[in-house]
Amino acid sequence: MEDVIDTFEQGAPEPVNLKRSARIFKISRGLFILSITTLYVIEPLLLEHYKELDWLAGAFVALPILTILVLAPIGLLNSWKSYKKSEGLAITRLVYLIGNLSFCGLLVLFMSILIQDIALLF
């Protein structure tokens, strides 16, 4: 995908926002996969052998999600700036805009579930 980003028209400005958006999307995607892997593979193994480390298992799942919480809006902002400036190819801009928008949608769902869980405590 890097070769698609690097190909831009002669005389056109370099797609700075598109490259940032792509980088943030790739980091978010990796952290999301790490979070899911941790949730379904590492956490059960850790809790099976070390029950007193349940806080560590929760941290392994929560830290990538919290990092995505910060990165997703930044990636969406860079995608939108890239779209407004018409940087790079149209399909590349659309892919990263939809990708970063989907991570923001996942974060809205995550926050709604978190708020419902907190409401059940009180």
Q: How far is CA 41 from CA 3, 19, 44, 47, in A?
A: 34, 32, 6, 11
Kindly report the CA angle at 66 between 27 and 78, in degrees rounded to 5? 45
Domain locations along the chain: 16-121
Contacts of 85 (CB under 8 A, 6+ apart): 13, 17
Predicted confidence at residue 1, as pLDDT, reads 54
Quick one: what percent of the chain has pLDDT higher than 90? 45
Query: What is the mean pLDDT of the segment spanning 6-11?
Result: 56
Name the pLDDT band for 122 (thresholds 50, 70, 90).
confident
How much is the pTM? 0.78
Confidence of residue 78 (pLDDT cuts 50, 70, 90): very high
Report how far residue 38's alpha carbon sits from residue 36's, in angstroms, rounded to the nearest whole number.
5
